[in-house]
């Protein structure tokens, strides 16, 4: 019997973290792939990754609009409520044998609750990581609602087991986003024309020269600070005179603050070499990072993909504070001074060796393989089995 | 500054498990009590415990209707979504300093998500217990979303810590429902007239003679079986000829099945000494149990309160399978044969000594004391601290 | 091209008022029938008409749970909000060419709003009637949202046109419920065994002797009175000693009051010849009415079907106050005295001639014919065309 | 007894159409004003008129986030569903004696349904107008749900009565937006500094020279055309070389299309004298219009306020096609040619006399006066009283 595997994608980064697994599931003969796209993954303001999913050749089974506009903590909570209502209808109709949820964004718990209450086995990608912030609570809560766990790192898998999950249900596969990094790891140059393919704003930069990539997300429980942080980073980068490609943030409480900071900055100073892009194909994104002098911001990309690619990375503030990291990362605080110092120091670093901390480049295939081979018929009813 | 403590009550049993804590919070000078009543706790079909809360002298701050009728797994999921939307509005308006959520019913995770996303410290009563079924997943997921934990047993507290919660935030207080048992533990006789106070159906029984109390809940992930199980228990009890007080179930997927079984039974046979009651004051309920020969069914009351009161209890099926229990409990399966045998055996048992497994009778005061003394200002952002 | 016609059924009475049209649409070669069942039409407590729809040989395309439990005005409003959210998803998925909504229950406006905003032509059955109560507002509001109107009476059609709808879009078809009456109009006796087919409560009566049918609905904007009214009618009927078949009410604010009155009555007096039935096949229902001495209550059945069948009818209170009526109806007030007097008077009446006021028995075929022949491609954008 | 009057504001234009009535209610001694702000009126993307409401000295009683992001017809429908759920909670809590809803935007029907089902008398401003498009259906449906009607024009009032509303409940007050126009009607010059007060984008223009004001809304049931229409207007205006102040559209299906067109235009050509503003105080807005050579677009402002102010206005396309208009309006189609011709013709026109078609400048006071004097205690239950 063909297993129906339903993968729910809620945001642009989630897609990168599951894309190669989607391909491997599609290629499998034992599984049927259902792709549900929801939340910011459908919205133009946040790069509408659904278009990219389709242009990558995948068929979207169902689109679920769930974002209550307002970008406040209250709207986040209510968005989760709406998503539960809508996803429950979708799962009832699609009748998947397995639901796959990814990582820890606030809406992902909606997927977990709908699948749990409908009695559909739930698979969680990227559980067990320790990062701080509300995301961490949500991530561990999803772990406790899940039946199978595909962890990125050995450490994460151990955490999941320590939280009481049965070791036979916990697998270290690495992160599928590293698979994409692996595919471009040997490129000497960009395979695409940035300005032809992507419609950004700001001042185009010369990609044959040194440039920096900036990637900043608002921190969920510091949402008042989003505008201030974006302004600090913009001003500090501006002072260095370096060429910068800046990627726009995801939907989140506070993302409007980031956007406002960018708009203010652009109105003030049109001459600095900063170019702003809203959404980009993940492969192209990684090619740019690979070619950049370093990544700066607070994205996990600086820790995950950059470690695999050997690209130096400046990580600012608390967002990634507890995440396991390789030797490519320099941490600093949210002051112009601390950031400037990190930029000076990183200039002196050499490119790093590939690290396999977050995967060896074959996570997607491993995930599809285990999904295909496992018998998901019987749910574990006991979720707190301590191995002492 | 006065701390605003908001307690969310979603069902009749939850009220018993927090009632003495409510009184102690009210009496405290440092705290203001906000009571939010929602889900089945507001519905006549499920005993409308909100009326009892008020007749006990508490003021209900907000009523939140959230139950989507249908009593299917899908309706349970959507009820949770609706509750998140509605409770978020309530918390935004009441601006509590602390939100308290109780146990593990499916709607309680709505309280947890709303409080978490609004950044309000979350206190969980009755976490860490190991019971199987979907309830267990929900319970542990709430643990991972919570900031403070008031566990009923030493074992439960250890489980919470093993799941990565910081020991400084985990307290063993016992269960407030035991406090109520404690208040009536020395009564020699019933303090109330059952038939004057409560409007049940069926054939009234003689409470001066031996009688049995039956308390049956549909099992969340066996919801198709609810009608069959109720029928088995009704028929088996009927055959014994024993006098029975039967308490109606809570709202849940399947509770309609239980109700249907009861209606069918009543239409068939009006003469057997079974009396059906829908809702009853918790103290009166415990007096009846204390006076009964034994409790039968699948409620945790048979394990918790009965152990404290020293009342023998027959626990049927899987619903309580992993719950810690004292020597007052006999387990059996969902067959007439197995149940009949348990009834014969329990007849030979003697009354048991009080056990303090689930509390010493002062849980409410302890909870109020700790809430009052603790500084909830700073949330722990890291939720996975393993003490190895 | 095949026209997809989506009929939304929200309650038991709505089904009777569209059933023969469903059959005629199914038999048509130019149309595909989509049946969406929602609200109380799915709930056991209200007779779950969805089972009957299926046993009549129809396929239900989609089931939409939407009732927020609580039976208060607030729950009615929120149920409408939930229904809009859910029906919008269903219409988006089913992509009907036409949506059909029936009559005036509070949830029907949800169908109208979802279809309107999605730009799907909306057909309204049973608009234009003048009845008072909130229902009337909802009915006329739906008229203003609709594209095509199938009215039951000439008067109703004229009202629709007076409200500004274009006469070319307004048709007098009669009510499909009359078609069912027509099918049984010539039966000399019951074609079924009531007690074998239907599981009621109360005391079975002798159907070979004279009996009365009672049909009472809570009045939407007098919902506090539901219990009182039901009690008055029960007590008054009890005093007459007449045999009574009593049909349980629909879901509505107040229906719990009616249920409570019935339960109280039954507990008090088990000997009177009243038998209570929860749901019944519409054809069987009409056979019972045809065979009864008279109908009593506040249902429109007393006015519509009874006029066609020539059955006398006592209409109590304001619920039907403005509805057009034939000579078979006696009106009275909500006092025991007024009701008793009406019962005495109706006893003296003779059976009436068939009246075609509410249809000639071929409404379903006419509706299907017009739907099939009409071009629904272009919506009228102007909705207020006064023909002076 | 003080009457509690709850006014629900869902969008920027609604505020202008009720602002002077709010002031007059506040000044009244017999009424307490409750202001509920919801939908796009709370969102930064649509000018967040809630900030302006507060800076005008009003207190916002409740904020209700209801917009489901997606800007599709489906999201519009679901936004209405969410708004019903949320507004019902708000009305239950605030217990107003009267609810006031304004005009015809898709979310306004949520206000009408919540108030209707809760039995609160509903007052509708700006009913009875004939405009075409979905808005017209919604407007008339709200009329049928309302108890009192404050119409802008004599014609509109007659339409309301023709639709069956009782003449004693229909008042011609004029539109409060004209009151604001009246307040600035005698200004010779701008009372504020546009660039200091408002942060727009594009090329600032010289306001001491001739300029044009453009105001374009996406048409609800042509939402695919929004981008195309905006592009046509931008390009046509660009070719004229005229100075233009362009006001950003409201939230609506299609508003993203308009925004996209503006962004594209701006990226292509930075030199043309077009300045884009997102939100502006209504009084300042009208001062700009008064000072402009003419208004162009498809807003009702060109028809209402411009007629009062005597400013010429070019109205493009079908959005206002059936609205009553004065001699200041030239209509044209959505082609560059037709628009260009209208621009040439309007240049030759002279300023017009004030027309009182949409009010004499004292609508707010009249509305407050009637609200204050009327007895809203008893709802009319019959809503279809034809005066032939």
User: pLDDT per residue over B309-338, tens digit each?
Assistant: 999 999 999 888 888 898 899 999 999 999
Same domain, A220 and A363: no
Predicted confidence at residue C252, as pLDDT, reads 53
From A65, A70, A82, residue closest to D42, measured CB to CB: A70
The total number of structural domains that make up chain A: 2
In the predicted structure, residue B27 carries a pLDDT above the cut 50: yes
> Percentage of residues in chain A with pLDDT exceeding 70?
92
Contacts of D384 in chain C (CB under 8 A): 130, 136, 140, 159, 163
In the predicted structure, residue D110 carries a pLDDT above the cut 90: yes
Tell me the torsion sign for CA atoms B301, B306, B307, B308: positive
Nearest-Cα residue of chain C relative to residue D72 = C118
Predicted confidence at residue A383, as pLDDT, reads 61
Contacts of D85 in chain B (CB under 8 A): 82, 85-86
Same domain, D162 and D209: no
pLDDT tens-place string over residues C241-273: 999 999 876 655 556 778 888 888 887 866 889
Q: How many CB pairs under 8 A join A and B?
A: 154
Predicted confidence at residue B1, as pLDDT, reads 82
Predicted confidence at residue A185, as pLDDT, reads 85
Instruction: Note whether C201 contacts B267, CB cutoff 8 Å.
Output: yes
For residue C35, tell me if it sits in a domain: yes
Looking at residues B87-98, what average pLDDT do you find? 96
Q: How far apart are CA D81 and CA A65, in angstroms?
A: 14
Q: Which two tokens stand for residue C128?
A: 């234009």
Q: Which chains touch B (3 or more CB pairs under 8 A)?
A: A, C, D
Residue C320 belongs to domain with CATH number = 3.40.50.2000
Same domain, B44 and B84: yes
In the predicted structure, residue A364 carries a pLDDT above the cut 90: yes
Q: Which of A65-79, C15-29, D202-216, D218-232 has the lowest average pLDDT? A: D218-232
Instruction: Note whether C221 contacts D381, CB cutoff 8 Å.
Output: yes
Predicted confidence at residue C323, as pLDDT, reads 84
In the predicted structure, residue B251 carries a pLDDT above the cut 50: yes
ipTM over 0.90: no
List C-alpha distances in Å: C336 to C224, C235, D103, D370: 18, 8, 47, 42
Q: How confident is the model at residue B45 (pLDDT cuts 50, 70, 90)?
A: confident
CB atoms within 10 A of CB C44: 17
| Closest alpha carbon to C80 in C120, C38, C140, C30 | C38
List C-alpha distances in Å: A252 to A11, A12, A255, A257, B21: 10, 12, 5, 10, 37
Q: Residues D277, D283: contact at Cβ < 8 Å? A: no
Q: Which of A5-19, A151-165, D348-362 has the lowest average pLDDT? A: D348-362
Q: How confident is the model at residue C387 (pLDDT cuts 50, 70, 90)?
A: very low
Same domain, C203 and C314: yes
Nearest-Cα residue of chain A relative to residue B143 = A141
Q: Residues D302, D205: contact at Cβ < 8 Å? A: no
- Which of B252 and C92 is assigned the larger pLDDT? C92
For residue C388, tell me if it sits in a domain: no
From D42, D68, D267, residue closest to A67, measured CB to CB: D68
- Which of C384 and B2 is assigned the larger pLDDT? B2
For residue A387, tell me if it sits in a domain: no
Q: How far apart are CA D12 and CA D365, in angstroms?
A: 21
In the predicted structure, residue B104 carries a pLDDT above the cut 60: yes
Contacts of B66 in chain C (CB under 8 A): 68
Q: How far apart are CA A379 and CA C95, in angstroms?
A: 36
- Which of D318 and D316 is assigned the larger pLDDT? D316
Same domain, C210 and C317: yes
- On average, the pLDDT of chain D sits at 89
Q: How many CB pairs under 8 A join A and D?
A: 43
List C-alpha distances in Å: B171 to B63, B368, D29: 30, 12, 56
Instruction: Using the structure block, give the residue that is written with the tokens 């374009």.
Output: D216
- On average, the pLDDT of chain C sits at 89
List C-alpha distances in Å: D56 to A223, A235, D52, D53: 28, 35, 6, 5
Same domain, A245 and A325: yes
Predicted confidence at residue D124, as pLDDT, reads 97
* Winning range, highest mean pLDDT, from A269-283, B12-26, D177-191: B12-26
Contacts of B81 in chain A (CB under 8 A): 80-85, 88, 110, 113
Same domain, B214 and B134: no
Same domain, C275 and C307: yes
Q: How confident is the model at residue B146 (pLDDT cuts 50, 70, 90)?
A: very high
In the predicted structure, residue A348 carries a pLDDT above the cut 80: no
Same domain, C170 and C103: yes
Residue D281, phi then psi, degrees to nearest 5: -55, 135
Predicted confidence at residue C225, as pLDDT, reads 81
Tell me the torsion sign for CA atoms C145, C148, C152, C153: positive
Contacts of C383 in chain D (CB under 8 A): 136-137, 140
For residue C30, tell me if it sits in a domain: yes
- Residue B224, CA atoms < 13 Å, CB-side half-sphere: 1
From B73, B106, B113, residue closest to A109, measured CB to CB: B113
Secondary element (H or E) of residue A364: helix A363-373
Rg of chain D's alpha carbons, rounded to an integer?
Answer: 20
Looking at residues A191-198, what average pLDDT do you find? 90
For residue D319, tell me if it sits in a domain: yes
Q: How confident is the model at residue A387 (pLDDT cuts 50, 70, 90)?
A: very low
Predicted confidence at residue B93, as pLDDT, reads 95
Instruction: Note whether D67 contacts A69, CB cutoff 8 Å.
Output: yes
In the predicted structure, residue A384 carries a pLDDT above the cut 60: no
For residue B301, tell me if it sits in a domain: yes
- Which of D119 and D47 is assigned the larger pLDDT? D119
Predicted confidence at residue D388, as pLDDT, reads 40
pLDDT tens-place string over residues C155-187: 999 999 999 999 999 999 999 999 999 999 888
List C-alpha distances in Å: B61 to A44, B21, B46, B93, D88: 41, 16, 21, 11, 17
Q: Which chains touch D (3 or more CB pairs under 8 A)?
A: A, B, C
Q: Which chains touch A (3 or more CB pairs under 8 A)?
A: B, C, D
Nearest-Cα residue of chain D relative to residue A68 = D68
Q: How far apart are CA D164 and CA B201, in angstroms?
A: 51
Residue D346's contacts (CB-CB under 8 Å, 6 or more residues apart) are D293, D294, D312, D314, D330
Predicted confidence at residue C254, as pLDDT, reads 55
Q: Which chains touch C (3 or more CB pairs under 8 A)?
A: A, B, D
Contacts of A322 in chain B (CB under 8 A): 382
Predicted confidence at residue D387, as pLDDT, reads 44
In the predicted structure, residue A94 carries a pLDDT above the cut 70: yes
Predicted confidence at residue B278, as pLDDT, reads 79
Q: How far is A204 from chain D (nearest CA, A)?
A: 13
Looking at residues B368-374, what average pLDDT do you find? 93
Same domain, A163 and A189: no
Q: How confident is the model at residue B6 (pLDDT cuts 50, 70, 90)?
A: very high
- Which of B236 and D386 is assigned the larger pLDDT? B236
Contacts of A85 in chain C (CB under 8 A): 82, 85-86
Contacts of A82 in chain C (CB under 8 A): 85
pLDDT tens-place string over residues C292-326: 999 999 998 999 999 999 999 999 998 888 888 98
Q: How far apart are CA C236 and CA C230, in angstroms?
A: 10
For residue C352, tell me if it sits in a domain: no
Q: Which letter does DSSP use for residue D347 in this model?
A: H
pLDDT tens-place string over residues A233-281: 999 999 999 999 998 766 555 567 888 888 888 878 668 899 998 778 8
Looking at residues B91-98, what average pLDDT do you find? 96
In the predicted structure, residue A65 carries a pLDDT above the cut 50: yes
For residue B95, tell me if it sits in a domain: yes
Q: In terms of DSSP bridges, do strands D170-172 and D201-202 run parallel, antiparallel, or are they unpaired?
A: unpaired
Same domain, C337 and C367: no
Q: Which two tokens stand for residue B42?
A: 């507001």
Q: How many CB pairs under 8 A join A and C?
A: 9
Q: How far is A177 from chain C (nearest CA, A)?
A: 32
Mutant choice from B45, B63, B69 vs C, greatest count of C C-beta within 10 A: B69
Range of the domain at D201: 183-346
Same domain, B113 and B133: yes
Predicted confidence at residue B249, as pLDDT, reads 67
In the predicted structure, residue C48 carries a pLDDT above the cut 90: no
């Amino acid at each position: 019997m063909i297993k129906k595997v339903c993968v729910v994608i809620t945001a642009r980064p989630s897609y990168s973290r599951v894309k190669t697994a989607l391909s491997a599931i599609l290629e499998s003969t034992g599984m049927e792939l259902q792709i549900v796209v929801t939340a910011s993954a459908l919205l133009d303001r946040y790069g509408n990754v659904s278009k990219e999913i389709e242009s990558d050749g995948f068929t979207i089974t169902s689109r679920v609009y769930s974002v209550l506009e307002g970008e406040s903590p209250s709207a986040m909570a209510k968005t989760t409520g709406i998503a539960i209502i809508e996803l429950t209808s979708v799962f009832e109709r699609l009748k998947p044998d397995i639901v796959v949820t990814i990582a820890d964004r606030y809406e992902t718990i909606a997927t977990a609750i709908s699948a749990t209450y409908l009695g559909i086995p739930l698979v969680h990608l990227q559980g067990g990581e320790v990062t701080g912030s509300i995301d961490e609570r949500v991530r561990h809560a999803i772990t406790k609602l899940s039946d199978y766990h595909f962890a990125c790192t050995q450490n994460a898998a151990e955490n999941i087991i320590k939280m009481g999950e049965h070791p036979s249900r916990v697998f270290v596969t690495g992160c599928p986003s590293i698979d994409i990094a692996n595919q471009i790891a040997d490129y000497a140059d960009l395979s695409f024309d940035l300005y032809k393919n992507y419609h950004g704003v700001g001042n185009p930069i010369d990609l044959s020269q040194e440039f920096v990539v900036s990637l900043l997300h608002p921190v969920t429980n510091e949402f008042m600070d989003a505008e201030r942080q974006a302004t600090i980073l913009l001003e500090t980068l501006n002072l260095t005179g370096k060429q910068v490609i800046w990627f726009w943030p995801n939907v989140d409480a506070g993302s409007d603050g980031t956007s406002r900071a960018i708009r203010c900055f652009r109105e003030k100073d049109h001459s600095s070499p900063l170019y702003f892009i809203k959404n980009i194909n993940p492969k192209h994104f990684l090619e740019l990072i690979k070619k950049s002098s370093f990544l700066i911001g607070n994205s996990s990309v600086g820790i995950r993909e950059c470690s695999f690619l050997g690209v130096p990375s400046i990580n600012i503030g608390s967002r990634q504070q507890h995440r396991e990291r390789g030797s490519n990362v320099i941490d600093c605080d949210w002051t112009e001074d601390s950031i400037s110092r990190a930029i000076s120091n990183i200039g002196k670093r050499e490119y790093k060796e590939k690290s396999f901390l977050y995967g060896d480049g074959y996570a997607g295939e491993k995930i599809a393989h285990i999904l295909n081979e496992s018998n998901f018929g019987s749910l574990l009813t006991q979720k707190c089995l301590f191995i002492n």
